[in-house]
Amino acid sequence: MIPRYRRATKVGSGKPPSTTVSGTTAHDRHMTTFRAHGFVRTSTDRQAFDRQVDALLAAGVDREHIVIEAGVSGQATKRQGLDELMLPVRPGDAVLVAELSRLGRSTRQVLELVSRLTEAGCTVRSLQPSLVFDGSPVSTLLLTLLAAVAELEVETLRGSSHSRV
């Protein structure tokens, strides 16, 4: 059930996050554990987020590492879910989203968020389309193009719905 409030919630049993390791990576000749974190956003309280959660679970994200932001516009400047997502993220971790548009609706907003994550040593992975953004020049170019196309789609839909009124 979608919460009636706009507060970010974690999916799971309410227990503290498990110590399950989602993967390992080599840094400075030491093995460092990393986790996969999932982020889900719906723009309205009426939208279901099950499809996004199912996709993240299928991609290997532990249920307790999924943050849900229900009923929050991607254009909102203050997003508690993103703040909650950033708290446990550490270098080597991956942040997964079902679709790139779940991170935000404006190109600038998506670029800033992904930049914050990659500068913190994380990768960002979109499941649809299946892409990994790691802060490299090529991934930044691709991210910019995809975010701009997504923003154009939203503005085009908004414009056509206003013209029908």
Domain count across the chain: 1
Q: Examine residue 75 and state whether it is found in any structural domain, yes or no.
A: yes
Cα 101 from chain centroid (whole Å): 9
In angstroms, the CA 53 to CA 41 distance is: 10
Report, as residue numbers or ranges, the catalytic residues: 43
- Structure pTM? 0.75
Q: Is the pLDDT of residue 6 over 90?
A: no
38: domain CATH number is: 3.40.50.1390
Q: Examine residue 84 and state whether it is found in any structural domain, yes or no.
A: yes
Q: Examine residue 104 and state whether it is found in any structural domain, yes or no.
A: yes
In angstroms, the CA 98 to CA 40 distance is: 7
Q: Examine residue 4 and state whether it is found in any structural domain, yes or no.
A: no
Q: Residue 143 sits in which domain range?
A: 9-164
69 forms beta bridges with 41
Q: Examine residue 2 and state whether it is found in any structural domain, yes or no.
A: no
Say if residues 72 and 43 touch (Cβ distance below 8 Å). Answer: yes
In angstroms, the CA 165 to CA 160 distance is: 9
* Per-residue pLDDT band at 161 (split at 50, 70, 90): low
Listed residue (58, 111, 114) closest to 86, CA to CA: 114
Distances, alpha carbon 86 to alpha carbons 30, 82, 95, 163, in Å = 24, 6, 10, 39
CA 63-106-81 angle, 5° bins: 30
pLDDT digits (tens, 9 = 90+) for 89-139: 999 999 999 999 889 888 999 999 999 999 999 999 999 989 999 999 999
Q: Examine residue 65 and state whether it is found in any structural domain, yes or no.
A: yes
* Per-residue pLDDT band at 31 (split at 50, 70, 90): very low
Q: Examine residue 58 and state whether it is found in any structural domain, yes or no.
A: yes
Q: Examine residue 3 and state whether it is found in any structural domain, yes or no.
A: no
Side by side, which strands form the sheet with 123-128? 9-10, 66-69, 36-41, 94-99, 123-128, 131-133
Q: DSSP labels for 77-137?
A: S--HHHHHHHTT--TT-EEEEEEGGGT-SSHHHHHHHHHHHHHTT-EEEEEETTEEE-S-H
pLDDT digits (tens, 9 = 90+) for 60-69: 999 999 999 9
